[in-house]
Structure 1
Amino acid sequence: MLAAVAARTSQDDPLSGLEMRRVDRPDAAALPPHWSVVDVRAASLNHHDLWSLRGVGLPDEALPMVLGCDAAGVTADGREVVVHAVVGATGHGVGPGERRSLLSERYPGTLAEQVAVPTWNLVPKPAELSFEEAACLPTAWLTAYRMLFTSARLAPGDRVLVQGAGGGVASAAVQLGAAAGLEVAVTSRDAGKRERALTMGAAVAVEPGARLPFRADAVLETVGAATWSHSVRSVRPGGTIVVAGATSGDPAPMELTRIFFTEISVLGATMGDKEDLEALLRMLVRTGVRPTVDTSVPLERAPDGFARLASGEQVGKVVVTVG
């Protein structure tokens, strides 16, 4: 079957290690107990895939590796499902001793015609969502949901700053936050992305570092060094900064004096659990909110999707379709 594979890793030129290859299909008879094979209908790209191609979390001994965390598809018995990408956190399908990993780290990922996962990781896909929409959810949208509602515990009327409009997590946070009645502010260097964020429900869109018209109850931080100081200065005393990434590197200094003096909480978030994903799906069905798809390409053109993601020009998700 056709798959997008990390054949090599390179810090300086990550896309040079991406290859489209023919790989073996999962052998259902040889899988561990309580695993299932899913015929992938759509998958989406994440910065995790680019980091893997740089060798972060993907050692040479694991190569070649099928990339991809997110997918929606159909099981052998005809069920339409969304794949929860975290394996090992609960012990389902792998036993309690295996540490947590994401698909494409220890087990082949979703950018292929089929993927094998623990059956417990499969969540029914609502009929109201297309495969392309559902494939956007398990990493970026799930992370945004967890940051907003599980980590920051925001409620209608609260104010939140989302750093770096345009990325998958940021665009999801804008849409989810607006649907939940939050007052959402976003930042972006790109005027077009700021305007797009306003159309997605943001109340305020400013350049990075600009003063906000309010102090935020929480800040969602996925950029890191380039925006950290602004995040610390934009959150209210006693507020929360939730960190789920650092695409511009670790901040230095951390401004610890301001953090402890104003009693700011700093929390980490990595995706979410299966229950969060199920709640996210219910929220989308109920509200009518749908993921913003920036680009959709067939599997054989997955390298074009990776190039779009690496450019940083996308607003929303890059989706790969199969079949």
Structure 2
Amino acid sequence: MKICRFNHDRIGVVQEDDVYDVTDLFERQLHWPAPLGDAVIGQLEKVLDVVREKLPGIKPLKLSSVRLESPVANPGKIIGAPVNYHAHIEEANGDSEINNGKTFTTLEAYGLFLKANSSLIGTADEIQSAFGGRRTDHEVELAVVIGKKARHVPVEAALDYVAGYTIGLDMSVRGGETPCYRKSPDTYSVLGPWLVTRDEIPDPDNLDLSLHVNGEVRQQANTQLLILNVRRVIAYASALYTLHPGDVIMTGTPAGVGPVLPGDTIKAYVENIATFDIRVAPQFADQVEG
């Protein structure tokens, strides 16, 4: 099932060219202090059967008429896997603007990083390039959305903790600061256009993905090439962090990363999920120069 968030926090099911509004099937009352995690993603597994039952009685909206927001509203953490394709390691070590004097070896040696959840946008928004004098690169990734609390997850059980999958763009300012800083400007995490529940993607380690800028192919690979596959990345992350519903794991980007400029259009694709276009705003954001 394809689950979207649209038109100012409505929850929908996408079927072909239609969206079915199922917002009222979810509990959305405020509780304080709020439990960690995204409340809607945390309910998803138990609500899906009710959604399937009620769907035939709901009048659909046209997909083209709605504004798609990030399918996850409140991720507690956005976790990045910085060097999880061999070809990207090679390209990073060969590009001084990417490596900034470091030598990348393995993901385990380099570790994961966190992106600010305030950097999150959906596909109907625009990317606002930060640091006008610095290079901003695109990075397309398969994004995993966690469905239930997880800690010290064994590799063989890791997919049991997944709510679903979506497309992620991990936008990155190049420079010497830590990735947590350079990858966390507002609008530098894109998710969308919807979440595909895990039952529709039984093997996340065999998905084509690609990215085009202004019609030119920049990145093209398959998740078979991940160094740590999806199960192992989840297990690796859960060994350090307690994962909560709605937490997002960006599983890593393949080779071909490169700069985008104000006014560019990015087309991102992941097999069995979707294709979406998003524009880089025609002006730089009001950011402190570094």
Q: What band does the TM-score fall into relative to the shorter chain?
A: under 0.3
- TM-score by length of structure 2 reads 0.25
Question: Which is bigger in relative contact order (C-alpha 8 A, separation at least 6)?
Answer: 2
Max Rg structure: 1
User: Structure 1 or 2: larger strand share?
Assistant: 2
- TM-score by length of structure 1 reads 0.23
